[in-house]
Amino acid sequence: MKDYNDPSEEQKNQWQNDPDNWIWGMFYYNPDDKRLFAPKRIKEFGWTANFANPHSVFIMSLLILVLIVFAKFAK
């Protein structure tokens, strides 16, 4: 069994290039990958959340909530 606690760069690239780890080609979802954020399919476009990681989902939800509250009180 592969140790996913410290994946190699090769393993990370395999995960990133596997179309089964991308929902609709834009949402990264890989339960084997413990990273909160992973590079987008085209690395030059930045990073995306790993939606299979509950901590990542919490952080993204919190960010959206903060933006909504800020927008509401900025009026």
Nearest to 16 by CA among 1, 31, 47, 38: 38
Longest dimension (CA), the chain: 55
pLDDT of residue 19: 92
Domain spans, the chain: 9-73
Question: Using one digit for the tens of pLDDT, what is the confidence trace for 45-73?
Answer: 999 999 999 999 999 999 999 999 999 99
pLDDT of residue 2: 57
Helix (H) or strand (E) segment spanning residue 22: strand 22-23
DSSP of 43-69:
GGG-EEEBTTSHHHHHHHHHHHHHHHH
DSSP state, residue 50: B
Q: Is the pTM of this model over 0.85?
A: no
Contacts of 14 (CB under 8 A, 6+ apart): none
Question: Using one digit for the tens of pLDDT, what is the confidence trace for 4-48?
Answer: 567 888 998 899 889 999 999 899 999 999 999 999 988 899 999
